[in-house]
A and B are shown apart, each in its own frame.
Chain A
Amino acid sequence: MNRFCADLCSGFSGTGKSWKVIPFGGERIGDPLKKRYVQFIVFISVVLVVVLLSGFSFTSMWKDPPIVRGPGVSEVKMLSDWLPSLSGTKGDTEVYIIRGSEPGGNFLLLGGNHPNEPGGTLAAVLMIENVSSLAGTVYIIPRANHSAFTHNDPMEGAPQFFSIELPDGSRRTFRFGSRRTNPVSQWPDPTIYNHPTGSTLGGSEISNLNRAFPGREDGIITERVAAAIMNIVKQEKIDLVCDLHESSPEYPVNNAIVFHQEAAELAIMTQMMLEMEGVDIRLEESPPSLRGLTHREIGDNSDAYVVLLEVANPSQGRLRGKTTEELVTTGVDKYYLQASKDGKLFAPYDETGYPLELRVARHVTTVRVLLDSWNMMFPDRMIMLSDVPAYNAILSDGLGAFLKPVS
């Protein structure tokens, strides 16, 4: 680099008024300088092209893929309606409201807390586009950390988009975002994150929405998003919160319900009912010392019962090979297959992979059974949904059968 700079600069000398050629080693030269001019212009042009292409690629994720309002959606608000300072920022995002024909309890469903976990986002989208409420009100935020959908993780080689084919042959495109808020929204990360609860976390966690709860209304974007969600919980008197995630197959907390201690019985009932439907799911209690997560902070700071769902996603695991759109949608990966044979995984895994249909079907079914359990335990605050896509139907007909075409 130094030699390059030396070569580039040694041919010129600024006098303040004009540039003149000065000799290399005391000798005047002509043609080599012309050649350097050309090299310089070519180099700058290439840099500009790369920068422009990168810029277009980077900003291509800034546009939200459409979500179609299903027949049950009665209103779409913005998160900034609960915290005005979010308005106009990348943290602001849609809140879909499905009001029941009868009064009942209030349910908040979060997808896209981590946008590199598309099963959670897609499950929330399926609910928005298909479900109606017979009793109670459902609030769905499919892109909870909206800013983190506007980029993906550098150095991870992950695709920016993936798409799903619909029965009419059209395709719906979704973003494969990042676990963390876009640095365009907040930068740089501190060395240590002084969490609102008084504990300290690693600096990079300041851009992880699921470490930012209960948030700060006057904080950075991620904290404000968390605070706005907390405001929904409190102002709308939310009874039950479910946060949809995915996890690496080698992570022990997999295919699991993580529950706040107040929601223990509800989670256990749900697990037992799911088991009877042939869906195996494990239980994990939210550790009180693990701060900033939805199941801990919303549970501690409100009257809501809170659970978080995990399902295995090979496209975010550390053992994966090439990270392609196909890996995101099929979950087929030879390295995970080997890891499974070696007994290193915490989720069942074979040649069929861990397809997105299965991951979404598990989430949607768990939400339905969670609400069934809720209604058994709290009949005075019923949350009764209709037209929830069935587990086997999602697996047999595919996700496209439950996504609406975009005109």
Chain B
Amino acid sequence: MANMRRAAAGAAIAASMALLAACSSSDPGDGGSSADASSSGGGSGDEPVTLTWWHNGVAGDTGENSLGDYWDQVAADFMADNPNVTIEIEQIQNEDLQRTRIPTALQSGDAPDLFQQWGGGEMAAQAEAGYLMDLSDTLSADIDRLGGGVAPWQVDGTTYGLPFQFAVEGIWYRPSLFEEAGIDAEPTTMDELADAVQKLKDAGINPIAVGAADGWPAAHWWYNFALRSCAQDVVASAGTSLDFSDPCWVDAGDQLQAFIDTEPFQPQFTSTVAQTGATSSAGMVANGDAAMELMGQWNYFVYEGFTDGSDEAIAALHEDLDWFPMPAVDGGAGDPSAAMGGGDGFSCYVDAPVECADFLAYIVSDDVQRGYAEAVGGLPVAPAAADAVTDPVLQKIATTTSSAAYVQLWMDTLLGPNVGGAMNDGIVNIFNGTGDAQGVVDAMIAAAATS
């Protein structure tokens, strides 16, 4: 589950293997054409309809694929209830799907009917190009039912996708290492976090692991500083205005620099990747080589991947793994209880048959969402499915998500690949010591001028 949420970009072998898998699974006819054939009739009748569905539920290193298996079952259930609908699924590794397969499919006009959608700037660009089906009216009841989590899948009030999972990020930690360092409470402010960092260093423990070699894990620290120094509307409107003149953006980098100067991260953090291998940031936390890591809820399952996979080993890990929200930063125009978050959703292609929207509504229905939480361990968006989350740590994340003053979508997703990528690279330069706070904003302004 975790690997495909945000697989380490450097894992080229895995990527190429996944590509092979994707190629081999693409034979059963390409879907767009069959969609065209069926889209004309309004779709409500019993005419046979084929839906193609691309999602990122691929098998991990262990061969286990709980998400992919669950989607198979969801599709089978829907087909049983709607005998005229055939759903053809392609499982595609996350990076290949997002960066290669979906953009080229949309370009070619032969796109899958239902496909993974991460929301934000990239989705806005797809919507602007006219690739996405407007779901605002057809699924208005579902949009209301899901609530605020839908916002990242909307552009100017129009809904172009629905999320099946949404959660805030926070700090994962090992209680046993906290105990060893004499930390008795979860830090709630940056001062307390600094205090904990110092205690861990005194005890000879790497305080915080960060996979800066992958870029985005480092960038998430900056996002959180920006979230607190910038007012809510400054961040939210930046996604469309691309205006970074507010001094809070530079301030975020300055705060990050000050934080890095306290040396909270493991040595040579720019050489550390996020998820691959025992020396990755997740591996360090899972193996007890580092006490904390700022990450999304998917890391729960990434950590499990570093055990031998047995139930006892996973139970032992869960026993000594906990989570707290990103501590509040003093001052700044942002709400201290705001949080960074993100999720996964699906969009329908503009020419897809209307059954696509029906199926999407089914995917986010309360029962399927409940099943998603139970079978996959994900955090559902539907409020009615919240009770299906039984794991105490995941419950904590769900509670924080629902009680946050507001949840800001990952900034790189919000800003789209061009400006978002420039921002991430600029932030990594701060980590590398080759750039500064102003450099991040300059890079974002430059990238904004090209788009």
Instruction: Verify that A and B bind, or say they do not.
Output: no
- List residues of B whose CB falls within 8 A of some A CB: none
- List residues of A whose CB falls within 8 A of some B CB: none
